[in-house]
Structure 1
Amino acid sequence: MRTAVAWMLPALLFLGGAAHAEWLERVEDGIMGTRIVVELWADDRNQGNAAIEAVLTEMRRVDQEMSTYKATSEVSKVNAEAAKAPVKISGELFDLLTQAQEYSQLTDGAFDITYASVGYLYDYRKHVKPDDEAIANALPGINYRHVVLDRQTHTVKFARAGVRIDLGGIGKGHAVDRGIWILQQHAISHALVTAGGDSRIIGDRIGKPWVIGIRHPDRKEEVIARIPLEDAAISTSGDYERYFDENGVRYHHILDPHTGRSARKVRSATIIGPTATRTDGLSKTAFVLGAEEAIAIYNRLEDIDAIVVKPDGQVLYTKGLEAPAAPSSPR
């Protein structure tokens, strides 16, 4: 594996020893608009490469169906038709929308895929942002309760016009989980799959844990924490991923559903949990709620740990990651 200095993903640094012949790695840019990394241990090189290719094929499929940038995707079809009448959708999308609603309820709307009702007005590459009037006109479309799911008919309907959904806050995690499932079908038991800031690990790194470094929000070469992991998922969201600065203000892609503007209560949030779909879905919460309130939610979830960086640089940890208190000195 490359060293941390040589290989930096947008949100995470993967820190490990030198690569061995049995370790296979593929890095591919462009799927879901991000960098995909697949690394695995394979006894047979041909079988290992076939497993990697199967993962990339699956991620392309997910991108084709979930992307709002593709007019033929299932999500684009929902955005075009669901305000008019119920739209029959795949079981995969239905389940993902159900999970999204669960995270919205858990976070009291801090996570909300209908943020796209305003979010589509932004273009971070072209430094385009909506004015106050445009935000005010589009803001009523943001409310996860506008997305009405019918389990009997497997349909989705929007409760009002002007609603759009975007799975950017959960879709990459889902793709990573699908990639891990593919590897498991190929009898791979030691691997890493990454899509941007979302990763999942199966097994250890042959006798050692995977050691993951979380980057500083401003200094990408600096690591603020190192975490050993096995059989876990980890997602980091930061205000340094998709953004532009204008007149001293940073406009980034994590929007506050209440305002339609970039959420500014934290700089980055890292979530550790059992699946990448879950960690991806929960990593945006802190930006809207603030570090303390988000940490309180994470602490109530038995399968979740988190590290949150506040705007002043203070780093907060959930209970499962807190350093043990120093022993008191004997009197």
Structure 2
Amino acid sequence: MTVVVPSAEASVTGVVHRVEQIMGLPISLRIEGVGEGEGERGSGAEAADRVFAWLREVDARFSPFLPDSEVSRLDRGELSDDELSPDLVEVLDLCERYRVESGGAFQVRLPGRGLDPCAMVKGWAVQRGAELLRASGVTTFCLNAGGDVVAAGRPWRIGIRHPERADRVCAVVEIADGAVATSGRYERGDHIFDGRSGLAATGLLSLTVVAPTLTEADAVATAGFAMGADGVEWAAGRSGCEVFAVDAGRGVRRSPGFPV
């Protein structure tokens, strides 16, 4: 998990800030530079409305925990491939891409478990939310989904939580237009599994990826974490990705271009 830490900038005018609980996690949005006269119900707030409506729609359609979701219906065999929405087809194609590229470590169909694309859906959906903001004319924003962040418009300082100390960060990155995602064991325990063995991934304590989009940052962080210690080099070798990791022996590993 990452957390946005205060900027050195003293103050910003024209701010819209909102937090909602969606997908079982807090999602916050900060928009800056809302035009004079627009106020809380102006274009910035309307853009925020569209983003949160989209994220609620994604949760309803793609959650494996809701019996009437498209994902649950597909998993029960109630939908054929040609009945799937274009959005779900895109998500499943991305899942297959990362399964192949990770050598099977990234897996949304583990033996004995139902279809669960959540590892892909969050980053993909939040990145789509960022694109909705841009389409609405919003240029400066920070969208934070449970610590995975996509930001634009100015330098934003993002703290990477210490994997063993909830009250500390172990690094701070600064991004002006991009995304940061962290996979780890400290929030939800052993919830990421290596699809090659079906066992919980325990080789790393946390893996943070900076990438151009949150779709990629989140998927690479999850896949790399599932791969264990070898996943650090795999993630760092991907074009446009920079990596910061803490391994099971509490050693810190980072790629040369990691923006700290």
Instruction: Assess if the C-alpha contact under 8 Å between 1:15 and 1:213 holds in 2.
Output: yes
Residue 62 of structure 2, aligned match among 50, 63, 66: 66
1:208-223 correspondence to structure 2 within 5 Å: 209-223=155-169
Q: Distance in 1 between matches of 2:149 and 2:193?
A: 22
Give the drift of 1:259: 3.4
- 1:285 and 1:308 map into 2 onto residues whose CA distance is 13
Match of 1:176 in 2: 126
Distance 1:216 1:318 in 2: 18
Deviation readout 1:156-196 (Å, 9 max, x if unpaired): xxxxxxxx321111111011112111111210000111211
- Superposed displacement of residue 284, structure 1: 1.7
Alpha-carbon shift at residue 98 of structure 1 (Å) = 0.8
Counterparts of residues 25-104 of structure 1 (less than 5 Å): 25-29=17-21, 31-41=22-32, 42-43=34-35, 44-45=38-39, 46-81=42-77, 86=81, 88-104=83-99
Instruction: State the distance in 1 between where 2:242 and 2:45 align.
Output: 33
- d(CA) in 1 for partners of 2:236, 2:203: 19
Q: 1:77 to 1:300 in 2, by over 3 A?
A: same
Deviation at 1:235, TM superposition (A): 0.7
- State the alpha-carbon separation in 1 of the partners of residues 236 and 128 from structure 2: 27
Does the Cα contact within 8 Å between 1:172 and 1:198 map onto a contact in 2?
no
2:4 is matched with 14
CA distance in structure 1 between the aligned counterparts of 2:221 and 2:63, rounded to whole angstroms: 20
Higher gyration radius (CA): 1
**Cα distance 1:302–1:287, how it changes in 2: closer, same or farther (>3 A)?**
closer
Instruction: Measure, in 2, the Cα distance between the counterparts of 1:322 and 1:22.
Output: 28
Q: What's 2:203 paired with?
A: 265
Closer, same or farther: CA 78–23 of 1 in aligned 2, 3 Å? same
- Structure 2: which amino acid aligns with 1:263? A
CA drift of 1:85 comes to: 5.7
Structure 2 unaligned blocks of 5 or more: none
* Change beyond 3 A, Cα 1:311–1:281: same
Deviation (angstroms), 1:296: 2.1
Given residue 62 of structure 1, which amino acid in structure 2 is its aligned partner? Answer: V
From the superposition, tell whether residues 237 and 19 of structure 1 become closer, same or farther in structure 2 (CA, over 3 Å): farther
> Quick one: distance in 2 between partners of 1:197 and 1:276?
11
Query: Deviation at 1:298?
Result: 2.3
Q: Using the TM superposition, give the Cα deviation of residue 295 of structure 1 relative to its aligned residue in structure 2, in angstroms.
A: 2.5
The amino acid of 1:113's aligned partner reads: V
**Letter of the aligned partner of 2:24 in structure 1?**
G
Q: Tell me the TM-score normalised to structure 2 length.
A: 0.91
Quick check: 1:301 aligned with 2:241? no
Within 5 A, what are the aligned runs for 1:93-242?
93-115=88-110, 117-118=111-112, 120=113, 164-204=114-154, 209-242=155-188
Q: Which moved more, 1:273-282 or 1:11-20?
A: 11-20
Percent identity of paired positions between Structure 1 and Structure 2? 30
Normalised TM-score (structure 1): 0.72
Counterpart of 1:319 in structure 2 is 256
Residues 307, 318 of structure 1: 8 Å contact kept: yes
Structure 1 residues 191-214: Cα deviation after superposition (integer angstroms, max 9, x where no partner): 11121132211221xxxx101110
Q: Is the 8 A contact 2:174 2:259 kept in 1?
A: no
CA distance in 2, matches of 1:294, 1:77: 33
Query: Matches of 2:11 and 2:69 in 1, distance apart?
Result: 38
Q: Alignment partner of 2:65: what SS? A: coil
Number of aligned pairs? 253
In structure 1, what is the Cα distance between the partners aligned to 2:96 and 2:163? 29
| Displacement of 1:242 | 1.7
